Amino acid sequence: MTATGPIHMTRAGHERLQQALEQAQQRRDEAAKMLSDLRDDAIDLEDRNLQSAQTDLTGLDARIFELEDALARAVVVDDSNTQDGTVMLGSVVLLHEETQGQDMRVQLVSSVEVTVRDDRITQLTDDSPVGQMVMGRRVGETVTVNLRDREMRYTIQAVQ
């Protein structure tokens, strides 16, 4: 079943998805040319390189379809207005985990965005248990998240 509703995402996430689409399209063009060359050179259709190239092309086509679908349904949210301290999509949040006393700096993003790696900051999806609990909350609030066999408490220390 394919989802058909809008996908809310940050502007940066939208731009990363667009770049990923362009890169996938370029790789697909290269793979199609390689497949064509292999077909010309293959002695028989059982050639392993030919089969591998066909599999690669199919995978790239699926990735391109996925990216095009996500971008077509994308609704870019304004993540620049976090001055009131409310956690929203795109917010960078400093969370204090109370049991172990650890601080975590995370960015709240849509699940589609998190598939595009961002090595600068840990990404937390808006549909994850923690993401759902902190969305719409403010600095100073504490949330309790049930994670299978344990309960975690996080205090929102800062929102950027």
Q: How many residues does the chain have?
A: 160
Whether the model pTM is above 0.85: no
Please give the chain's pLDDT, 160 residues, in tens.
356 799 999 898 899 899 999 999 999 999 888 888 777 665 555 566 777 878 889 999 999 999 999 999 999 987 665 567 899 998 999 999 998 999 999 999 998 887 656 667 888 999 999 999 999 999 999 999 998 888 999 999 999 8
- Alpha helix (H) residue ranges in the chain: 11-41, 48-72, 129-134
Helix/strand/coil for 8? strand
Closest to 94 (Cα-Cα) out of 54, 58, 129, 124: 124
Enter the tokens of residue 39: 């077909």
User: Among positive and negative, which fits the CA dihedral 40, 45, 50, 54?
Assistant: positive
Task: Look at residues 94, 61, 89 and name the one whose alpha carbon lies nearest to residue 74.
Answer: 89
List domains and CATH numbers for the chain. Answer: 7-76 (1.10.287.180), 92-159 (3.10.50.30)
Decide if 57 contacts 89 (C-beta within 8 A): no
